[in-house]
Structures are given as structure tokens and as C-alpha cells.
Amino acid sequence: MDLRSDYPFWLLDKGILYTYPSLLNDIKTDVAIMGAGISGALAAWHLRHAGFKTVIVDKRHVGMGSTAASTALLQYEIDTPLSELIIKRGERDAVRSYLLCLKAIDDLEAICGNWKEAAFTRRPSLQYASYKKDVALLKKEYELRKQHGIAVQWLNDNDIKNKFGFEKDAGILSRDAAEVKAYSLTHALLHKCRSLGVEVYDHTAITHFSEHKNGVELKTEDGKKIKARKLVIACGYESAQYVPKKIQTLQSTYAIVSEPATTDHHWYRNALIWETARPYLYLRTTDDNRIVIGGKDDDFSDPRKRDKALPVKAKALEQAFKKLFPNIHFRTDFKWAGTFASTKDGLPYIGHLPGKPHTYFALGFGGNGITFSVLAAQMITNMALGLQDDDARLFNFNR
């Protein structure tokens, strides 16, 4: 699958940070992980720390899938509002899903909060009402989140004007969100994992795997074999081919990043910003004072159509920013496009298929892919340890 256009900012900025050998021998391990993006890297980190001999392979260079394209806003707010998720999944499960995402931000900070290369930075997050008609529903959303202990503040038009300088009728300001550099973080995780004994192989495509009574056997395109007690499939949007039912809808999404500004203060605490409209526009800043804008999603996933649309989409994103912030200078420095998957309820798929207890999936589909990757790594590690995880049912394949 062609996951993204050629030149995401993060890849051009950092280049290929580390490369690894391809697999040249047959090997045996406790856990084999297919896919070395942010999901595979986090899984490797957790599994290794839980004591498993771990091998991770990728058919590309490390982090070169969707992870290289990620704008990497870390939010507890999933694409499905809490009020809607309650209708889809019931109050207990919906609230628990939101609270797990909230905790995932803290948990990721505990791992990489002081790694310079990851540039993990805590931010507040503003979701504004795109239109007057959205205010009532957003207020209900605010009340619900507050009722369940999420740190939120209701902003009226004056508050938004004072804090952010633009004119919108209302918004929810959430205390807990963050931003990170997903591509650099993936490299950092795997580099550190390797020093802990994890074997990392790139340019190693798995063409076949089968589950047996006591484990799993994988075959590479070069005919090498990996025998493992457990397999983790962390192949991003390319994982769906291994699941017998349709679990994802593919879309195209677009992002631009500005030239670095001379100020490190763009708006209120450089909060993450997004909105109620669908598809939504979203914004963040970077540690070198750039502004990242994403959105203008399309309902198709044809990569040629997607990449052809990029110049027009980049202009549209720039214009949307200028409409919101006419007084902030913005000149696009880089633009890119990516394929993007969503699920019916906005929640990830984590765990194994019925009758395949040794093959776990870490499928963090949705706008919150990275916080979902954290949850997947934690839950899969618990499953591999044979521990009961009461939250695992939230994201299983039986829904």
C-alpha cells in the first residue's frame, strides 16, 4: 500500500536516523513483531521490559510508513465525541475508553518525556465550535467530560478572542494533551530497544505466517523463518488484509508546516487546536517554532488521486489558517499527504482473532493513532504475560 506522499516534513528534517540489517538466518524468539512504526516500536519497548526475547521486522526502513507522516497530536479526545460513543458503546465503555486515552498521554510521557529527540511537550487542547449550531452539542460534550473527571474549561466567544485571538462562539479547553515527534520517537525507542537486546531487522518483508498449537511461524520474502511463541501484527493500515472482516475505512488526509517563526509564542500556550466540523482542521506548533496544520480529508484512498490533490489541499489549509489567524504570518515550507483509516466507533482494534490466541493485533486506527498505539503495547504485553486485562474487551474483534 502507498501510505503517504514522498516528502513529509519529519523525514526531510531528520533523514533516516538509523538503519538495520535485514534478516539473513532462521531465528527463534519469544515474540516477533511485524511492523516497525510507532505501534511496533512501543510494543517492542513494553514486551522487552516485561522480559520477552523480542524480534521486530519491517519491510521498509524503520518508521517509514504512516508514522513518518504523522502530525502527532496526542489527545484523549477520540474522533467520536463522548456523547456519540456512549450511544454506540454504552456509557461505561465509552467513558473508560476516553479515560484510557487520557492515561496513555501520561504513560507516554513517562517513557519519553525527557528524550530530547522525541520533543514530547505537554499542551492544552482547544476544540472550538465551528458553527453556531454546534455550540449546544459541544456544551453537552463539555458537561459529560466534566462529569467524568476530565479537566475541561468552557470558553465563550470572549474567552476565545482573548486567549486565541480569533472569533468563534465557544470551545472546550482541555488541560491534558501533548505533542511529540512520532518518527524520531520511533527511532529512539528502537535504538534503545536494541541496546536492551531486541533484534531489529529492516527490509525484511513477512510474506507468510501461520499459527500452530504452541506458537507462530513467519516466513520472509527471502525464505527465512522466524519461530515465535507470540506474533504482534503492527503493520498499520496494511494490517487489515490479515483480518477476515472489514474493520477500517480508508481516507486521504493532508498536512502542511510553516517556515519557523521568530517567536515561540503563537497563541495561548501553543495549545493544540481542532474543531467540531468534519473533516476537521487541526493545528499544533513545533519545538522549532513552526505551525503544523492538517485536515481537508477526502473520502478516497487512491494514492495517485491523493498526491495529485496535494497542492490544492495545501493551499486550502493555508487559507483556512489565514482566515482563523489573519495576523500571524504563515508561509508553507513543506506539505505532504497520507492515507488514513478510521473505524465505525473511532476505537482501535487490539487483541487476537477468535481461535488464534498467539497472534495479536495492534491496530490503532483513527485520529488518535498514537495514544491507541500506547494502549495496544500495554494490553498486548499483559496478554502475552497471561495477565487479566479488564479493558481489553473494549477494543476486541467481537464488536
Binding site for ligand FAD (CB under 6 A): 3-4, 34-40, 57-60, 64-67, 69-73, 182, 205-206, 234-236, 238, 253, 255, 294, 338, 340, 364, 368-371, 373
Helix (H, G, I), strand (E, B) or coil at 294: strand
Placement of cell 486521504 in the chain? 252
Q: Is the Cβ of residue 268 or residue 361 nearer to ligand FAD in the bound state? A: 361
The least CB distance from residue 263 to ligand FAD, in Å, is 23
The least CB distance from residue 287 to ligand FAD, in Å, is 16
Q: Is the Cβ of residue 104 or residue 155 nearer to ligand FAD in the bound state? A: 104
Q: Is the Cβ of residue 145 or residue 296 nearer to ligand FAD in the bound state? A: 296
The least CB distance from residue 272 to ligand FAD, in Å, is 9
Strand partners, 217: 210, 227
Say if residue 279 is preceded by a cis peptide, omega within 30 of 0.
Answer: yes
The least CB distance from residue 19 to ligand FAD, in Å, is 13
The least CB distance from residue 309 to ligand FAD, in Å, is 13
The least CB distance from residue 348 to ligand FAD, in Å, is 9
Q: CA 308, CA 228: separation in Å to the nearest integer? A: 42
Q: DSSP state, 241? A: G
Q: Is the Cβ of residue 59 or residue 266 nearer to ligand FAD in the bound state? A: 59
The least CB distance from residue 99 to ligand FAD, in Å, is 17
Q: Is the Cβ of residue 130 or residue 373 nearer to ligand FAD in the bound state? A: 373
Angle at Cα 130 formed by Cα 324 and Cα 259, nearest 5°? 30
Strand partners, 249: 342
Which long-range contacts link 258-265 to residues 24+ away (Cβ below 8 Å)? 258/290, 258/291, 258/292, 258/330, 258/331, 258/332, 258/333, 259/290, 259/331, 259/333, 260/288, 260/289, 260/290, 261/289, 261/290, 261/291, 261/329, 262/289, 263/289, 264/289
Closest CA to 200 of 17, 20, 18, 16: 20
Strands (E), the chain: 27-34, 54-57, 73-75, 121-128, 152-156, 170-179, 199-201, 206-212, 215-220, 225-233, 249-258, 272-275, 282-285, 291-298, 332-342, 349-352, 359-363
Q: DSSP state, 4? A: B
Q: Is the Cβ of residue 78 or residue 152 nearer to ligand FAD in the bound state? A: 78
Chain residue whose CB lies nearest ligand FAD = 369
Q: Is the Cβ of residue 146 or residue 250 nearer to ligand FAD in the bound state? A: 250
The least CB distance from residue 100 to ligand FAD, in Å, is 14
Q: Is the Cβ of residue 72 or residue 135 nearer to ligand FAD in the bound state? A: 72
Q: Is the Cβ of residue 159 or residue 251 nearer to ligand FAD in the bound state? A: 251
The least CB distance from residue 118 to ligand FAD, in Å, is 14
Strand partners, 218: 209, 226
Cell representation of residue 378: 500495554
Q: CA 82, CA 198: separation in Å to the nearest integer? A: 38
Phi, psi of 291 (to 5 degrees): -115, 130
Letter for the amino acid at 363? L
